[in-house]
Amino acid sequence: MKKYDPKTLEPKWQQIWAETKLYEVDNDAQNKEYVLDMFPYPSGAGLHIGHVRNFSISDTYARYQRQHGKRVLHPMGWDAFGLPAENYAIKTGTAPQISTKQNTDNFRRQMQTLGFSYDWSREIDTSAPEYYRWTQWIFLQLFEMGLAYQAENLQWWCETDQTVLANEQVEAGKCWRCGNPVTKKPLKQWFFKITDYADQLLDGLDDLDWPEKIKLMQRNWIGRSVGAEISFELLDASFEKKIDVFTTRIDTLGGATFLVVSPELANTWLEAGWQADDEVKKYILDSLKKAEIDRQDTAKEKTGVNTGLNAVNPLTKTNIPVVVADYVLGGYGTGAIMAVPAHDERDYEFAQKFKMPIVEVIEPVLTQTTGSATFRHNEPAQDSHGVIALIKHWSQDKYIGLSWPDAGWGTLLTGGIDEGLTAEQTVRKEILEETGFRNIKVLRQIGTIHSKYYHEPKKANRFGHAPTFYVELENGERDQVSEDEKQKHEIKWLTKAELEGFLTATSHAQAVKMFEGQVYNGEGILKNSGDFSGQESALAREKMTTKFGRERVNYKMRDWLISRQRYWGAPIPIIHCPKDGAVAVPADQLPVELPELKDFQPSGDGRSPLAKVKDWLEVGCPKCGGPAQRETDTMDTFACSSWYFLRFINPHDDVQAWNKNDVDAWLPVDTYIGGAEHAVLHLLYARFWTKALRDSGHLNFDEPFKSLRNQGLILASDGRKMSKSLGNVIDPLDLINEGYGADALRLYELFIGPYDQTVAWNPNGIDGTKRFLNRVYAIVQEHLSQDSGFRIQDSESSLETALAIATNKTIKKVTVDLESYGFNTAVAAMMELVNEMYKLKVDLPLGSDAWRDNFKLLVQILAPFAPHITEELWQQLDGEGSVHISTWPAWDENLVKDDLVTIVLQVNGKVRSQIEIEAGASEDAVKKLAAADENLNRHLQGKTVIKTIFVPDKLVNYVVK
RNA sequence: GGGAGAGUGGUGGAAUGGUAUACACGGCGGACUUAAAAUCCGCUGCCUUUACGGGCUUGUGGGUUCGAGUCCCACCUCUCCCACCA
């Protein structure tokens, strides 16, 4: 009998598939399915285990769709531009063109070894001139639309190394390589105006079938915030008349006791002629030199300096000082803020340190959002007045908490204010009544807390207003507390930490925070705000925006800086002319090809090595014909990957980037699979380009990826990330060479756990899937070695039915699971079927037509997971053509339905016995049969059955006393 | 600091509110073998019982329910993302 030998079987079929072009599709997009992998950067290390997981998921899905008669486009290519190849070139002198070619050849070979069903006729390489020609063409489209622009920007520059440094490469103001101080140099950079699309990028997310997590990350990244811009009059300054600030809390304007200006904005004042003190100048210039990383260290103490300038608070009309501090960012909003230390932690921290005034303007309003007291927003609320008191023990650092056993509440001491009593009198009265304590040492109001909640006993919303007090007891002397009060609640002495978990009402928890002096940054009722005092935040914001400022929307997202002073990228197709400025390279002159180089060192003047290639650099201006120079920056590699999914449609078209009709028919991508690490880079950029190209009329759709799935990471068996330096890397090709084969490896990676979950590699796990494939192969060989065509005995027909039932149930399970990416459970189901087949073959002789039919069904549903072995077995079982284009089997609903079901008998919810009965049996029939059950009766003996719960085909639960 | 997700045997994991621990790894036992490997078969959460059976168990503590791994509340732990964005 033949043995399962993936080493000979797999290459054989890979060759046949290639020769028959089994996985190639033409551009007829009828009944199409575009299944796309995030294409890889072809590193020198080759494919890793994580790639295999990614590609196995998409390949299984693509094959499954193909077996459903879909025309599946499943292409692969190379994101080939990038730093590693260039650094390798600097080190070894090997041109990136050469090392990249070696790497892509290696990747392709490895992928073919794994048997993925890619249409290799559509392979693309972003570093090939026939590809980046069109990347450049798209750049020019954006340039024409005004979406690509140049702006002068400060860049880190190391004089010693003669190079530009990335922000991350500057440590404490020094170059990470040589340790010498770096300076900032103004350099012209290219940007894409992605911010123009901020709202569209945000809104478009709603309709995408993407993981919520990724959508949320994009939302946060875009960071839309709606607020107001206010102008503060700047006094006695010749260089500037006003300071604009952006705030989302204009309702706290009354508490704005100073303004903070970013060093970047202050620097523009210096340039405009501000005669600042030396100390101020020094602070500004030093701040600008600091690495972003240091400035953004939230752990460090706030720094800043008073400018001596004053501005006017438009609400209070008072003069407030203007300071410069680096905790305000130059690049966000207006680069200046109004500081409200009472209601912003950062401002509070600064004010504390620099002794700035702190004015409270918001009294907290807490809205109950949990439990039975949850405020009902659509119902009216009634005002109520009461007090809250935080009462401290006379000798210990403990406080009174009231535990309400009936309601399940934990509160501080609280009570309503009676007619004629002041709040303070109420506190004294309540303390005596509810706790009995007689002597009070300290009684101090710490604020007022408002709360919106639902009053369960009264069945109505309440808007409570409570002066809040801190009380310290003198001693433990106390009166008797009435039985009535004792019934309601119990007094507990708790530490502050214990109180935190104990208090169920958010307003009471707020009282503790208030006592501790915590900054309140929530919603509330205004005070110390002139005419606006007494109003609620939300309404006050509207009115104050109209009166003092104007509405403004800000985004965290910045324009996309795409120029790189690097060689190994797509050259930016621009020519700089002294007369005409930045001029687009005419489309018929594309591509602007990368010249061949011998020396890959950067030019030394902040430009890429391209600046050294004189005959490439010097060109005539396309407009005036005069002498001009090419742009020497190349594009960020993310530009190349922002449209590759379009190029797969017409990969070899040399007159256009794509054929609009073809692309409109195939796109958007139906299923996109890749890692979550691209959440806010590639996935955002690709969406932006698609929207821009829609606006330029080149596309008819504006979202490139309809459905997205992220595969989880695979960690080493020690639970750490696989890395060369840790020596815990598993090489997929090694496993194949060891004889496991591609099928067993792919199957294991699908079986290892839910596709989107991070899992640790189990070195023995692959033995399990290899064993499973062995068993499948072996049982089919045994079957084939039997005489075929014999008639079965009557006694065997029920076994044949059992076989058909097992197979059909598995077909259903695998089908349903695959629809929801349940690869691991689908594999488990097929393992169960094979285990069942091994049991059945003991009494049901192999070799019959029935066996052959069932084996063929098994082979068909296993095919997407293990393409080689199934193709071989399909052929051995006389299947027609390739199993991979055979029709996915349907299950027979009659065989899947159970005739007999097991009914569980429970007593008070505990399983006591089980009985078998025909499916659909009535409650009476089930109970009648159950009445004879010995174990059940033992548990029912001497008990009264109060009621029974009957769930058809599932259980009977006897509730007894 | 903010946000998101996750905690189930020795391990990876399974389970529309209805028999928790499917499937697999590992372990133990048996068959085959001169022997080993491979293969095939069986057992494998914990405690208790000769056995039938009984008790406990899904991070912890509460709650809802006839019934909770699953729903609600609080807490603990871990992972990921963002992080002075006003």
List all nucleotides in chain B with at least one atom under 7 A from a protein Cβ: 3-5, 11-16, 18-20, 22-26, 38-42, 53-56, 66-68, 73-75, 79-86
Q: Which nucleotide is nearest to A292 (CA to C1')?
A: B84
Show Cβ contacts of residue A778 under 8 Å, excluding neighbours closer than 6 positions: A1, A4
A439, A488 Cβ separation under 8 angstroms: no
**Most distant pair of Cα atoms in chain A: their distance:** 109
A754 CB inside 7 Å of strand B: yes
Q: How far apart are the first and last CA of chain A?
A: 65
A767 CB inside 7 Å of strand B: yes
What is the pLDDT at residue A404? 75
What is the pLDDT at residue A155? 67
Q: Which nucleotide is nearest to A216 (CA to C1')?
A: B4
Query: Any long-range contacts for A83-88 (C-beta under 8 Å, 24+ apart)?
Result: A83/A566, A83/A568, A84/A41, A84/A43, A84/A44, A85/A568, A86/A566, A86/A567, A86/A568, A86/A600, A88/A44
Chain A residues 446 to 505 with C-beta below 7 Å from nucleic strand B:
500-501
Tokens of residue A877, six digits: 């079982």
A246 CB inside 7 Å of strand B: yes
Q: Distance from residue A764 (CA) to nucleotide B32 (C1'), in Å?
A: 25
- Distance, in Å, from the CA atom of A727 to the CA atom of A300, rounded to the nearest integer, reads 37
Q: Which nucleotide is nearest to A339 (CA to C1')?
A: B86
Q: Distance from residue A207 (CA) to nucleotide B12 (C1'), in Å?
A: 35
- Distance, in Å, from the CA atom of A231 to the CA atom of A243, rounded to the nearest integer, reads 6
Tokens of residue A441, six digits: 């040492």
Q: Distance from residue A725 (CA) to nucleotide B44 (C1'), in Å?
A: 38
Q: Distance from residue A704 (CA) to nucleotide B23 (C1'), in Å?
A: 37
A751 CB inside 7 Å of strand B: yes
Nearest to A336 by CA among A267, A243, A248, A249: A243
Chain A residues 837 to 876 with C-beta below 7 Å from nucleic strand B:
838-839
A185 CB inside 7 Å of strand B: no
**Site of tokens 């892509």:** A104
Q: Distance from residue A955 (CA) to nucleotide B70 (C1'), in Å?
A: 18
Strand A381-392 versus strand A413-416 pairing type: antiparallel
A768 CB inside 7 Å of strand B: yes
Element spanning A115, H or E: none
Q: Distance from residue A822 (CA) to nucleotide B81 (C1'), in Å?
A: 25
Q: Which nucleotide is nearest to A679 (CA to C1')?
A: B81
Count of Cβ atoms closer than 10 Å to residue A734 Cβ:
10
Q: What are phi and psi of A855, to 5 degrees?
A: -65, -40
pTM: 0.91
What is the pLDDT at residue A813? 96
Q: Which nucleotide is nearest to A955 (CA to C1')?
A: B18
Q: Distance from residue A749 (CA) to nucleotide B78 (C1'), in Å?
A: 24
Q: Distance from residue A56 (CA) to nucleotide B41 (C1'), in Å?
A: 34
Q: Distance from residue A74 (CA) to nucleotide B22 (C1'), in Å?
A: 33
What is the pLDDT at residue A278? 94
What is the pLDDT at residue A485? 75
Helices (H), A820-954: 823-843, 849-862, 867-876, 893-896, 923-930, 934-940
Q: What angle do CA A440, A444, A449 make, to 5 degrees?
A: 125
- Distance, in Å, from the CA atom of A191 to the CA atom of A142, rounded to the nearest integer, reads 10
Q: Is A309 helix (H, G, I), strand (E, B) or coil?
A: strand
A222 CB inside 7 Å of strand B: no
Q: Distance from residue A407 (CA) to nucleotide B40 (C1'), in Å?
A: 64
With a cut of 50, list the residues of chain A below it in pLDDT.
Answer: none
- Calculate the CA A146 to chain-centre distance: 31
Peptide bond just before A591 cis, omega within 30 deg: yes
Chain A residues 323 to 362 with C-beta below 7 Å from nucleic strand B:
326-329, 332-333, 335, 337, 344, 346
Q: Which nucleotide is nearest to A212 (CA to C1')?
A: B4
A218 CB inside 7 Å of strand B: no
Q: Distance from residue A904 (CA) to nucleotide B45 (C1'), in Å?
A: 22
- Distance, in Å, from the CA atom of A452 to the CA atom of A539, rounded to the nearest integer, reads 16
Which amino acid does the sequence have at A918? E
A707 CB inside 7 Å of strand B: no
Closest residue, by C-alpha, to the C1' of B68: A909
- DSSP string across A349-415: HHHHHHT------EEEEEE--SSTT---TTS-EEEEEEEEEEEE-SSSS-EEEEEETTTTEEE-EEE
A703, A687 Cβ separation under 8 angstroms: yes
Q: Which nucleotide is nearest to A369 (CA to C1')?
A: B73
Chain A residues 928 to 947 with C-beta below 7 Å from nucleic strand B:
935, 938-939, 947
- Distance, in Å, from the CA atom of A410 to the CA atom of A407, rounded to the nearest integer, reads 9
Q: Is A702 helix (H, G, I), strand (E, B) or coil?
A: coil
- The angle that helices A765-785 and A823-843 make with each other, rounded to 10 degrees, is 40
Count of Cβ atoms closer than 10 Å to residue A675 Cβ:
16
A455, A371 Cβ separation under 8 angstroms: no
A619 CB inside 7 Å of strand B: no
Length of chain A: 961
pLDDT tens across A38-91, in order? 999 999 889 999 999 999 999 999 999 999 999 999 999 999 998 888 888 888
A204 CB inside 7 Å of strand B: no
What is the pLDDT at residue A735? 93
Q: Distance from residue A774 (CA) to nucleotide B76 (C1'), in Å?
A: 46
Q: Which nucleotide is nearest to A220 (CA to C1')?
A: B82
Q: Distance from residue A524 (CA) to nucleotide B4 (C1'), in Å?
A: 28
A912 CB inside 7 Å of strand B: yes
Show Cβ contacts of residue A518 under 8 Å, excluding neighbours closer than 6 positions: none
A107, A46 Cβ separation under 8 angstroms: yes
Q: Distance from residue A203 (CA) to nucleotide B82 (C1'), in Å?
A: 20
Q: Distance from residue A488 (CA) to nucleotide B58 (C1'), in Å?
A: 37
What is the pLDDT at residue A173? 62
**What is the b/e burial string over A616-641, where b = at least 16 CB atoms within 10 angstroms of the residue's CB?**
bbebebeeeeeebbbbbbbbbbbbbb
Show Cβ contacts of residue A607 under 8 Å, excluding neighbours closer than 6 positions: A565, A632, A633
Q: What angle do CA A337, A339, A344 make, to 5 degrees?
A: 115
Q: Distance from residue A258 (CA) to nucleotide B86 (C1'), in Å?
A: 13
**What is the b/e burial string over A26-48, where b = at least 16 CB atoms within 10 angstroms of the residue's CB?**
eeebeebbbbbbbbbbbeeeebb
Q: Distance from residue A935 (CA) to nucleotide B61 (C1'), in Å?
A: 34
Tokens of residue A111, six digits: 């992928």
A14, A873 Cβ separation under 8 angstroms: no
Q: Which nucleotide is nearest to A768 (CA to C1')?
A: B24
Q: Which residues pair with A451 in a beta bridge?
A: A366, A464
A630 CB inside 7 Å of strand B: no
What is the pLDDT at residue A648? 98
A681 CB inside 7 Å of strand B: no
A404 CB inside 7 Å of strand B: no
Tokens of residue A681, six digits: 């880079």
Q: Distance from residue A750 (CA) to nucleotide B28 (C1'), in Å?
A: 29
Tokens of residue A109, six digits: 């070979």
A645 CB inside 7 Å of strand B: no
- Distance, in Å, from the CA atom of A342 to the CA atom of A507, rounded to the nearest integer, reads 18
- Distance, in Å, from the CA atom of A386 to the CA atom of A511, rounded to the nearest integer, reads 14
Nearest to A869 by CA among A4, A2, A3: A4
A11 CB inside 7 Å of strand B: no
A855, A877 Cβ separation under 8 angstroms: yes
Q: Distance from residue A810 (CA) to nucleotide B71 (C1'), in Å?
A: 31
Q: Which nucleotide is nearest to A908 (CA to C1')?
A: B66
Q: Which nucleotide is nearest to A332 (CA to C1')?
A: B85
